[in-house]
Structures are given as structure tokens and as C-alpha cells.
Amino acid sequence: MSLTEYRRKRRFDQTREPEPGKRAPAGRRPIFVVQLHHASRRHYDFRLQVGDALKSWAVPKGPSYDPKVKRMAVEVEDHPLDYAGFEGEIPKGHYGGGHVAQFDHGVWSSEGDVEAQLAKGHLRFELFGDKLKGGWHLVRSGKPARQPQWLLFKDDDAYAGSLEADDLLAGVTAPPAADAARAGRGKAHKLRRERVETARPKRRRDWASRAAKLPGARKAKPPTAAFEPQLARLGDTPPEGEQWLHEIKWDGYRILATMAKGEAQLWSRNALPWTAKLPEIAAAVEALGPMSLALDGELIAGQGRKEDFNLLQSTLSGERPGKLVLALFDLLHVDGIDISAAPLRARKALLQEILEHAGSPHLAFSSHIEADGAGAYALAGEQHFEGIISKRADRPYHPGRSDDWRKTKQLASDEFAVVGYTAPRGSRQGFGSLLLAKPDAEHGWRYVGRVGTGFTDAMLAQISERIGKAGGAKPTAHVGTTDTDLRHAKWFAPRFVVEVYYRGIGRQSLLRQPSLKAVREDKRVGELRDSDRAPAKQAPAKQPAATARGRKQPAAPELPALSSPSKVLYPEDGITKQQVWDYYRAVMPWLLPEIADRPLSIIRCPAGTGRACFFQKHHTAGLERVDAVRLKEEGGHAGQYLVVRDEASVMELVQFNALEFHPWGSHAEQPGRADRVVFDLDPGPDVPFAEVKRAAMDIRRHLASLELESFLRVSGGKGLHIVVPLNPGCEWRLVKRFAQGFAEALAQSAPDRFVASASKRLRGGRIFVDYLRNARGATAVASYSLRARPGAPVAMPLAWTQLSRLARADAFPLAAALASLRRRRKDPWEGIDTVRQDLSRWEG
């Protein structure tokens, strides 16, 4: 069915149900959602994203974990993707009138063509939610009916058991009494759970004692952060000798897995968190049996061959719900024992034993051939793999690139920075070809050619959106060619990385027959200077930096060079650019989670705070590490907004004399959905700070009466911020309406204390409850950001218990903020991202 039927049955001026119109967000995997619906009769709505809609079934008794129990599922009209976030009341008299509650949600996958399986009448799939996990089946019934009837039942896997949907209602919003009485409450169950735990092996083994027997093994704390991966050097032919083992070079994404206390975390090769993107892989690692692990592998789809890479990308981008597997080739830690110094052959043997004991469908052992490199290379070619990785079997694991690991490819490919584009021709939209460059010692960047083939329609659209209208006529890389097509090309600073197949280097040192393999979202432009073709530079060994909780940090991405370190940025305090740089390096473990992946505005002070500073929110030439995301503000104005992804991009802004960081209350990949409400308590000039503190406590109590948990931040200026997290988030129109209504209600209830107007003439002796930061495009200062004010004060998050001892809003100048962090035992905002609450009850 199309969404026409959904539209026909609803009056969107009278119901809060979302109106169709939005496409699937790029870069997000297909979702599923199950909702508990108290309509005329109580039932569960089961929905799977297929393309830009949710295929939907009504399941009267709800899913069962017993494979022998087959539940009737009546196919209903497709729903829009936004319906996945809907919860609340459908008005009586309307289609489906009654209460809708969120039961479970997550991502899902299926091997093969989903549309073909549905047409055939048997869909096999996996769910990765909190309540529903593992394999499931939908089989169409042959019985004639007005609406197609299917059977929903559980696959007989490790999660199978006796649980029913009604056993899992802990945390699900209860319906109003009238709805429950009319529609029914369901069968009474004693067992109430909020989530289904990972299925672990029934027989635990003493993996620690086995690991401790390996050469070089030592006791160590469980890993809680990413580690720096070992990298391979590119060669022309496989190395020979008995000391080498040869593995398939999988065509996928490098993934590092760590686990402490049974909780897994997944990381990209440059230490970006990927756990949320790959819930099935995280669950599979947790199900292995050991309680702490460090694993190295490659994320693949299909067989992990060259032709399967597009399947991997389309699965991760949400174009299809394909099955993903992590092919593991190394084990560095198990149950408190660090075995990274043991020979590779011994590490892999233990890894293989752990994997065979668990038997996970989402984890695979990357097998190898010993000694016969030529034979392994020939076999890889016959089976259409990209090549092989040859490794010294007798060596320990060590970070960085070296000759202990060598790769040999069947078809040449390499990674390049995109520095511009040519205009499209014929029916193509967006651009014609991308201009490519490589780092060059003499010129900085050197143009190496352009790629115009290998793009899918989805890639063309996504890259065009990423580029926007950027670019000028002046080349940003050294051009040593007479290519006339470049006369009208658009150039910009190296912006993102692509991987390209090519057939050698031709005249004028340009790529021959280049074809796009992938946009490498897992790599940054700065990483291209670490070439796999050149000898690795030997850097002096450094001890890993300690984070806020004493754990080891992964190797940091390449940072920009700091210029003018002695320039004074705070003249009244003598604080230099070097001190500002050092401060932001020190607070990065806390600051980065506050601003990463969010549209960002900054305050830059090129000549210090004693001279003119300016507000910047758009990307500019010269920024190489900071992403540019094209977005629209509430008023409709569009632009390329600043977005930082890692430490290197933050420090590039510091190098550009940024002192303050002000993020949106939403993420760049989902800009229309707010996950924060911020109330800024801005006192009039004659209001004592004690009154501001009293107001904050009163507001906290008011929010608590609305069942909303709030967090406290001292602004570093004159007042306090009260932050309300939203999970899974709300549309901006609802957030703005709620924030304004809340502020105006305060002002009406205590007009001698509060004002909800920004007019300065009304603020004498009162506190302005600033709700204006709660709109698309509006910002609030980030926790741990410096302020461009005398004393270099910091916006610091606080526990509510600290408020009584707080003397003023700028109580944490730079040095005092660092000292406070060193003394702090617990993050006062710990758990803010896991608080589940929204504003849906105030909509309408």
C-alpha cells in the first residue's frame, strides 16, 4: 500500500498523528517500532521500515518468544516514518481512536530482497531492540480475508523462550483508565521486564587462565575506550617465508570492539563511537562469554568481497536492511589479561576457540593460510576478494603502520581528498565529477585527477547536498595538467575523503580510469598524510593521556599546528592562546560529547577579548577538519553550518581563535528533532545571585511536577542554565511552544520575580526566563566552553547539591575549572543521555 490510504483515513487538523511527506534520513539504518494501541480493542502495532514508509501489521496478542506460538498479524496501511516516534492519544471518533504507547524500537535486518520476500509471502528478519531481539518470521496466511493476514512467530534461536509481549511492559506508558476499560488490559502477568538481556553461553569457561598462559600475557584493567589499531604497509607482491600468515583483505570498515563488565563498545579506526549504529554486533560481542575483551576486525556485508561493499554501504545508509557481520582477526584482551604482546598465531588460536564456543551469526573468524602467500593471493583473486593481508605470525600487536603487516591488492585503489567538482552534463544532477588531491610536501595538496563514474543516485544526492554551493574558481591544489574541463571547475579546501579504484598512473601523473568505490565517512582528510605507501615516521613514544575517569585514550587524530602561541587572548588576565589551547585539550573528554555532531556557532576573538570578537556559524575557507552540513534555520535561511566530529576539528577552531562553543539543541543528521530544552535564567542588574539560585530550585520543582528531570549549568556569565534532556526527542515547534508556555506561566504566577519578555525595560529587579534558545537554529553555550569575558570563566555543569555553595555565575575561571575537574569523582550530568522523557503530552 502507498501512504494514500493512510492520508485518506485521517484528519491531520484534528489528530496529532504525523502527516506524510518526509523521506528516510540519510545515513540511518532501517528501523522497526512496536506500539501498544488501546483502540476499540487492545493490540500491538508492528512496523518495519521498507524504503520511505513503515510496513504495518496489527498483532492482537502481541509477539511471543515461543517459536511454537504463531500470532495472527493483520496487514494494515503503510505509515510514514515519523509515526515511529508517535505516542499519545488519538481523538475518539477518529480512525484508531485511543491511546498509543511506545513498546519497543530499534533497527532490523534481513538477508535478501525484502520486497521479494514480502511478495512471496515469507519474510525472515532480525530485530535489535530492547524488548524484541533475534530472528523472527512473517508468513502470509492462505485464508481469504478483507485484509491480508500473516503469522508472526519467533525463530528458534538463542533468544527463544516463554516470554510474551505482556511480560515486557515495564517502562511502557499506561493508557488512560477509559481506554483500558474499553479496549481491555490484556492478560495479567506476574513477570515484568523492561528489556531482554543478551543471550550468553550457558557454560562459562575460564578464558582468563587460558589467556594467562600465552607468552607475554599480563594482568590489566578491562578496556573502556578505543585502542590505536595496527596498520599495514602496501606492497606489490606477498611476502614469502614460514613466519608469515595470510588473511583475506575484507572489503568493509575497520571496527574495534572493547568490552568491560559485560558491556560492549564499538569504534571506528579513528576512535569514533559506532555502538549505536551496530546494535547486533555489540550484542554478539556481549554474548561471547568473557566479561572483558578487546577485539580487532572488519565490518562486512554479504561475503565481504569487492562487489559486496555497495551492500555494506546501502545497509549502513538505510537503503536496505542487510545482514552485517564483524570478521574478527585479532584478540588483544580477555577477562583481565592483556595478550597484545603474545605472538599473533597464539592470539588467533584463542580467538577462534572463543568464537566457536559462542557460535554467533554476526561474528566470524578471519581464517588464514600460513607461508604460501602466492597461493593465498591467487585464491583471493579467484573468489573476487580485494586482496590479502600478510602478517608476521610471531610478532606482538603494536599500534600504527609497520612492515609486520603488509597488504597486496588485486586492483589498485587509494583514498583521496575531494577538493572540487565539475558541472553536470546531460541528465545528471548535482555535479559531473569530483576533483581529487593527495598531500604533497612541496605544494600542500596536488591534483591527481577526477572521478565521474561509480556513483549511485543516492550517492549523487548525498554528495551534492554535502557540497552545496561551495567553491570558487581558484584551485586549492597544485594543478600540473592542461585539462581544459578544469577551466570552469569549482574548487574548495579539502573537505572529505573518497576511495577510488584506478588502473595505474597515466600521463601528467593523473589516475587512469578512476571509478568511485566509496565515500569514506570513517576517515578524515588529515589522515591521508599517513600514507600506506611511504616509510612510517618514527615518533618518540608517549604515554597515553588519562581521561576524566582514568582510562587510556586512543591515539588522537592529527591535530592542526598552533600558530602564535604567545598571543594574549585575555589581556586583563594575561592568558595566552597556548593556555587556551592547553585548556581545550585537557577538557576534550567532557567537551566533545557536548558538541560533536551538532550544528555549532562559535565566538572568535582574533585579536583577543580586548578587541572586536565576532559570532560565526557558517563554514569558511581554510577549515579542513571541520565538517560543513547544509541546513535550514527556522526562518528558512540555509547555509553550510559548522559541525565538529572529533578532537582535531575542535582544535582547528581553537587555532582559528575560537573561544566559545554554542551548539544547537539537535544533531546535524536530525536537525528537526530537539533533544534538549534550555532555560537561561538572566537576572536584571539589581537581582542578587542568591535570588537566581532560589529561582533555579523553584523551576526544578516545577519541572519535576511535570515529570521532567532537569540538569544544572552555571553559564560563566551572569546566570544559570536549566537543561531538560529529551529522549527520543521532539519536533522544534513543540519544544518552542512548551518552553514559551512554561516561561510565561512562571511570569504570570510570580510577576515580581520573573519576566518572560526580552525587553530590558521590564527586567528591573526580576529574572528573565529566556526560552528563546529553544528554536531550530538557536544555540546555548556548551558545558566546559570558555566565555570571552574577563577572567576566562567556564560554563560548568553542576550537581543540584552544589548549588547552595555556588557564589556567582562566573565562579569557575580557567584554572579553577581545571582544578575542579581534577578533584571531581563523578560527572554531575552522568546519565543525561539515557533519561527517557519527551513533551508529547503537551502537544495539541
> What is the distance between the alpha carbons of residues 631 and 645, in angstroms, rounded to a whole number?
17
Q: How far is CA 465 from CA 315, 460, 527, in A?
A: 20, 9, 24
> What is the distance between the alpha carbons of residues 781 and 426, in angstroms, rounded to a whole number?
47
Q: Which three cell numbers stand for residue 443?
A: 605544494
Q: Where are the alpha helices (DSSP H) in 359-456?
A: 373-382
C-beta separation of 293 from 333 below 8 A: yes
> What is the distance between the alpha carbons of residues 435 and 454, in angstroms, rounded to a whole number?
14
Element (H, E) at 369: strand 368-370
- Beta strands at 253-260 and 387-392: parallel, antiparallel or unpaired: unpaired
> What is the distance between the alpha carbons of residues 20 and 28, in angstroms, rounded to a whole number?
19
> What is the distance between the alpha carbons of residues 389 and 406, in angstroms, rounded to a whole number?
6
Q: How far is CA 472 from CA 14, 450, 475, 486, 628, in A?
A: 49, 17, 8, 12, 16
Element (H, E) at 353: helix 344-358
220, burial (CB in 10 Å: exposed 0-12, middle 13-18, buried 19+): middle
Nearest CA among 269, 257, 270, 272 for reference residue 223: 257
Nearest CA among 428, 431, 434 for reference residue 450: 434
C-beta separation of 687 from 745 below 8 A: no
C-beta separation of 774 from 736 below 8 A: yes
Nearest CA among 700, 696, 714, 709 for reference residue 784: 714
Nearest CA among 667, 623, 619 for reference residue 639: 619
Q: Which three cell numbers stand for residue 676?
A: 534538549
42, burial (CB in 10 Å: exposed 0-12, middle 13-18, buried 19+): buried
> What is the distance between the alpha carbons of residues 415 and 785, in angstroms, rounded to a whole number?
35
C-beta separation of 340 from 258 below 8 A: no
Strands (E), 702-837: 711-714, 720-731, 754-755, 767-770, 796-798
Q: Which three cell numbers stand for residue 743?
A: 516561561
C-beta separation of 696 from 721 below 8 A: no
DSSP 262-319: TEEEEEETTS-B-TTT-HHHHHHHHTTS-SSEEEEEEEEETTSSGGGHHHHHHHHHTS
Going by the DSSP 8-state scheme, the letter that residue 154 receives in this structure is: E
Q: Where are the alpha helices (DSSP H) in 158-300?
A: 177-183, 207-212, 279-286
Just list the catalytic residues.
249
**Helices 732-749, 689-705: crossing angle, 10 deg rounding:** 120
Residue length, the chain?
844
Q: How many CA atoms lie within 13 A of 721 on its CB side?
A: 25
Element (H, E) at 255: strand 253-260
> What is the distance between the alpha carbons of residues 562 and 577, in angstroms, rounded to a whole number?
9
Between the two ends of the chain, the Cα-to-Cα distance in Å is 29
